[in-house]
């Protein structure tokens, strides 16, 4: 935002990114086609994380619980209650939104390091309860959502979400929705207040803004977007598992956002994409992908704390949102 | 077994957990107290201690006591050196910014975990206890080694307390904790103190791990539970307070032992974690009052 407001350029860039993603559907070979659909869904998760971490400056180590809430909210209602696809999707998002609101009410009483530890602990409790109620959730094994339950009926038309093209397009649609939602959010008044809170909370408070309410809204929006990613993941890939609620899935969105550039709208996609390409390339000669994650994290905080797009914005592209 | 002896057994098991936990948590608490940073890789230093204990004992062979004593000396030293290097190469360059150090120690966590998996493998391996004596109580036999863990941990805690309160090193550390800028102005090498404290914290975790490895095997993922439990203990005990840490470790250790003997361990962990998260939300200074500055 430092380089002045250039809405035409901004919208053109975002539309161009979506156009490239749309074209890739027809170009990519089967393996990368599936991978790209996955990357887009996970990028939505990272975008949700970015709202809280990048813009509001709150580092949560428990976002896996919102992703998993969306995932299980969708998966369990389909498997146990036979919900239809749209209903289960909305149900999953609602689960994440309610959870995020409640967690936000509690965790936002703390700040800084305590906020990270509290979010991590709530996520741990969530993950443990998934294992404890194994009769419902399938525990460690998780649940597979059968193919017939993953058909989206819209009036006369039926879309089979297991079909690669339908899956890719659904992921793209979700990604586009999340992208424009965050773009609208960060350009809104609320988004600017969040940045103000990140930069100096005391001063923002003194200027008369209710910082708690703004932060609570940020946690809820962030959790809701993450839950939407989780719900879509369950529907598109047909699997619901407790490992998605683990600490690792709280740290991965942090890594993606840091890599792509915190507080940039396109950073989460770029970070997720680059990280997947790196681990995918590396996996052909080593299975030590955790090592790569660790090294990348350390190198990022040491040398590129702003991430790829953040560095670009600081150097040349001041208008990047 | 009747309820009474059962409870006694649970309490004894809980005390063993508490002994190991208070050492581990003290390491975390020292690092937080002096350096004001949260070391997410603390559990991995614990794991590294256990894995190195196996490696040392295995390389030496001979009588189990020989390998164990060697491990008790060598493993913490190596872990301390690793921590010292990590502090000098990474953390000191971040200026101890809380968020960056958390991200960096998460990176360290993954690196150590992956290296352990690559070089040590996914198996869980035991280390032979230095002696095999069973004390026969009227109701059940109990391993004398487990009781010696409690004694050793108590000795180590007292030693740490003496170092902190009675020596020049301890004074330097406390001065740095109190006000690092003034300490620097009075000629205390704050950077070296930080590196030393970080290494000491890691060594305490490694010591705890060497003590526990004869009764619970060494595994590359074993660092996760100690990390979470140490967080819990440090938070309940009040950050940076030695007495609070020990009291909280006994409280958590014993209640964990009792609850997981009579109920499901998963449920015990769920309740403990939730309770502590709520403590942190509603009483951020911990239950035993010492406020974190």
Q: What does the pLDDT look like over A82-93, one tens digit per residue?
A: 888 889 999 999
Q: What is the pLDDT of residues A225-277, one digit of tens each?
A: 999 999 999 999 988 988 899 888 998 999 899 889 888 899 999 999 988 88
Nearest-Cα residue of chain A relative to residue B105: A298
The total number of structural domains that make up chain A? 1
**What pLDDT, on a 0 to 100 scale, did the predictor assign at position B73?**
93
pLDDT of residue B79: 96
Percent of chain A with pLDDT over 90: 48
Mean pLDDT of the B120-126 span: 89
Q: Three-state DSSP class for A172?
A: helix
CB < 8 Å from A in window 95-114 of B: 98-100, 102-104, 106-111, 113-114
pLDDT at B65: 86
Residues B104, A112: C-beta atoms closer than 8 Å: no
pLDDT exceeds 80 at position B288: no
Contact B107 A293 (CB under 8 A): yes
Domain residue limits at A66: 30-247
Q: What is the pLDDT of residue B165?
A: 87
Interface test with A, best of B41, B110, B225, B272 (most A CBs within 10 A): B110
With a cut of 90, say whether residue B155 has pLDDT above it: yes
Smallest Cβ–Cβ distance between A298 and the set B90, B98, B224 belongs to B90
Q: What is the pLDDT of residue A276?
A: 87
Indicate whether A186 belongs to any domain: yes
Evaluate whether B241 touches B288 at the Cβ level (below 8 Å): yes
Q: Note whether B183 and B190 are within 8 A (CB).
A: yes
pLDDT reported for residue A50: 94
Q: Does residue A10 fall inside a structural domain?
A: no
According to the model, what pLDDT value does residue A94 have? 96
Question: Which pLDDT belongs to residue B289?
Answer: 53
Instruction: Please indicate whether, in this complex, the C-beta atoms of A291 and B278 are within 8 angstroms of each other.
Output: no
Phi first, then psi, for residue A158 (nearest 5°) are -125, 130
Q: What is the pLDDT of residues A108-160, one digit of tens each?
A: 998 877 888 889 999 999 999 999 998 888 888 888 888 777 877 776 677 88
DSSP A53: I
Instruction: Report the C-alpha gap between B35 and B23 in whole angstroms.
Output: 18
> How far off is chain A from B14, nearest CA to CA, in Å?
21
- Select from A121, A125, A122, A117 the least CA-distant residue to A102: A122
Query: Six-digit token pair at A46?
Result: 């990272």
- Res A4 pLDDT > 60: no
d(CA A216, CA A213): 5
CB contact under 8 Å between B38 and A290, yes or no, is no
Interval B85-93 mean pLDDT: 92
The pLDDT value given to residue B89 = 92
The minimum CA-CA distance between A264 and chain B, rounded to whole Å, is 19
Tens of pLDDT along A191-228? 999 999 999 988 999 998 999 999 999 999 999 999 99
Structure tokens at A75: 């998966």
The pLDDT of residue A101: 97
Domain chopping of chain B, boundaries: 27-222
User: Measured between CB atoms, does B228 come within 8 Å of chain A?
Assistant: yes
Residue A66 lies in a domain: yes
pLDDT for the residue B80:
96
**Contact criterion met (CB below 8 Å) for B86 and B39:** no
Pick from A106, A114, A117 the residue to mutate for testing the B interface (most B CBs within 10 Å). A117
Q: pLDDT by residue (tens digit) across B265-276?
A: 788 788 878 888
- Are the beta carbons of B94 and A302 separated by less than 8 Å? yes
Of A61, A288, A293, the CB nearest to B118: A288
B156, pLDDT greater than 50? yes
**Contact criterion met (CB < 8 Å) for A293 and B278:** no
Mutate to test the interface with A, among B103, B118, B237, B271 (most CBs of A within 10 A): B103
Report the pLDDT value the prediction gives residue B240, as an integer from 0 to 100. 65
The 3-state secondary structure of chain B reads CCHHHHHHHHHHHHHHHHHHHHHHHHHHHHHHHHHCCCCCCHHHHHHHHHHHHHHHHHHHCCCHHHHHHHHHHHHHHHHHHHHHHHHHHCHHHHCCCHHHHHHHHHHHHHHHHHHHHHHHCCCCECCCCCCCCEEECCCCEEEHHHHHHHHHHHHHHHHHHHHHHHCHHHHHHHHHHHCHHHHHHCCCCHHHHHHHHHHHHHHHHHHHHHHHCCCCCECCCCCHHHHHHHHHHHHHHCCCCHHHHHHHHHHHHHHHHHHHHHCCHHHHHHHHHHHHHHHHHHCCCCCCCCCCC
For residue A114, the chain B residues in CB contact (below 8 A) are 280, 284
Nearest Cα of chain A lies from the Cα of B119 at a distance, in angstroms, of 11
Judge whether A232 lies within some domain.
yes
What pLDDT does residue B248 have? 87
Task: Note the pLDDT of residue A291.
Answer: 86
In this complex, do B284 and A114 lie within 8 Å of one another by their Cβ atoms?
A: yes
Cβ A121–B277 below 8 Å, yes or no?
Answer: yes
pLDDT tens string B165-181 = 899 888 888 888 888 88
Question: How many residue pairs bridge chain A and chain B with CB atoms within 8 Å of each other?
Answer: 104
Can you tell me the mean pLDDT for A11-26?
A: 90
DSSP 8-state class, residue A95: H
Tell me the chain B residues in contact with residue A118 when contact means C-beta distances shorter than 8 Å. 277, 280-281
What pLDDT digit, counting tens, does each position of B20-75 carry?
999 999 999 889 888 888 898 999 999 999 999 999 998 887 788 888 999 999 99
Flag if A114 and B231 touch (Cβ within 8 Å): no
């Amino acid at each position: 935002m430092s380089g002045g407001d250039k809405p035409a350029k901004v919208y053109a860039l975002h539309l161009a990114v979506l156009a490239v993603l749309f074209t890739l559907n027809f170009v990519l070979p089967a393996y990368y086609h599936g991978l790209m659909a996955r990357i887009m869904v996970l990028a939505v998760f990272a975008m949700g994380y970015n709202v809280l971490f990048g813009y509001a400056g709150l580092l949560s180590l428990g976002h896996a619980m919102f992703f998993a809430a969306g995932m299980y909210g969708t998966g369990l209602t389909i498997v146990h209650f036979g919900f239809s696809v749209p209903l289960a999707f909305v149900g999953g998002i609602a689960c994440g939104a309610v959870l995020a609101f409640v967690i936000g009410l509690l965790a936002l009483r703390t700040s800084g390091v305590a906020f990270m530890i509290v979010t991590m602990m709530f996520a741990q409790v969530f993950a443990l309860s998934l294992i404890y109620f194994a009769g419902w959730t399938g525990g460690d094994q998780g649940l597979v959502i059968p193919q017939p339950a993953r058909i989206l009926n819209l009036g006369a038309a039926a879309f089979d979400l297991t079909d690669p093209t339908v899956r890719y397009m659904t992921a793209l649609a979700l990604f586009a929705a999340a992208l424009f939602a965050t773009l609208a959010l960060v350009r809104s008044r609320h988004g600017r207040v969040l940045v103000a809170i990140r930069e100096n909370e005391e001063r923002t408070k003194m200027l008369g803004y209710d910082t708690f309410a703004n932060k609570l809204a940020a946690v809820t929006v962030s959790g809701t977007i993450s839950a939407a990613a989780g719900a879509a993941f369950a529907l598109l890939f047909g699997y619901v598992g407790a490992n998605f609620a683990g600490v690792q899935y709280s740290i991965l969105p942090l890594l993606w956002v840091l890599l792509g550039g915190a507080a940039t709208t396109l950073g989460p996609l770029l970070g997720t994409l680059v990280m997947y390409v790196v681990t995918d390339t590396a996996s052909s000669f080593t299975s030590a992908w955790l090592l790569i994650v660790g090294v990348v994290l350390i190198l990022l905080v040491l040398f590129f704390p702003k991430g790829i797009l953040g560095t670009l914005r600081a150097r040349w592209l001041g208008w990047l949102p | 077994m009747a309820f009474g002896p059962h409870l006694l057994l649970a309490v004894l098991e809980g005390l063993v957990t508490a002994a190991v936990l208070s050492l581990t948590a003290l390491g975390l608490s020292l690092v937080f107290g002096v350096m004001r940073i949260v070391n997410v890789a603390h559990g991995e230093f614990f794991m590294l201690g256990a894995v190195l204990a196996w490696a040392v004992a295995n390389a030496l062979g001979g009588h189990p006591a020989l390998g164990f004593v060697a491990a008790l000396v060598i493993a913490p030293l190596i872990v301390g050196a690793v921590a010292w290097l990590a502090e000098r190469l990474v953390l000191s360059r971040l200026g101890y910014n809380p968020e960056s150090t958390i991200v960096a120690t998460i990176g360290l966590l993954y690196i150590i975990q992956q290296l352990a998996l690559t070089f040590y493998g996914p198996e869980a391996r035991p280390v032979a206890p230095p002696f095999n004596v069973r004390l026969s109580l009227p109701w059940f036999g109990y391993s004398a080694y487990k009781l010696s863990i409690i004694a050793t941990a108590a000795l180590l805690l007292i030693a740490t307390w003496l170092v902190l309160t009675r020596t020049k090193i301890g004074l330097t550390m406390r001065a740095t904790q109190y006000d690092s800028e003034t300490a620097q102005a009075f000629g205390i090498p704050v950077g070296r103190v930080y590196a030393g404290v970080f290494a000491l914290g890691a060594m305490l975790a490694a010591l705890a791990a060497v003590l526990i490895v004869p009764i619970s095997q060494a595994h590359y993922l074993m660092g996760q539970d100690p990390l979470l439990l140490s967080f819990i203990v440090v938070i309940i005990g009040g950050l940076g307070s030695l007495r609070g840490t020990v009291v909280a470790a006994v409280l958590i250790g014993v209640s964990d032992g009792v609850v997981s003997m009579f109920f499901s361990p998963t449920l015990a962990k769920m309740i403990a974690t939730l309770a502590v998260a709520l403590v942190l939300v509603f009483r951020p200074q911990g239950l035993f009052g010492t406020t974190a500055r």
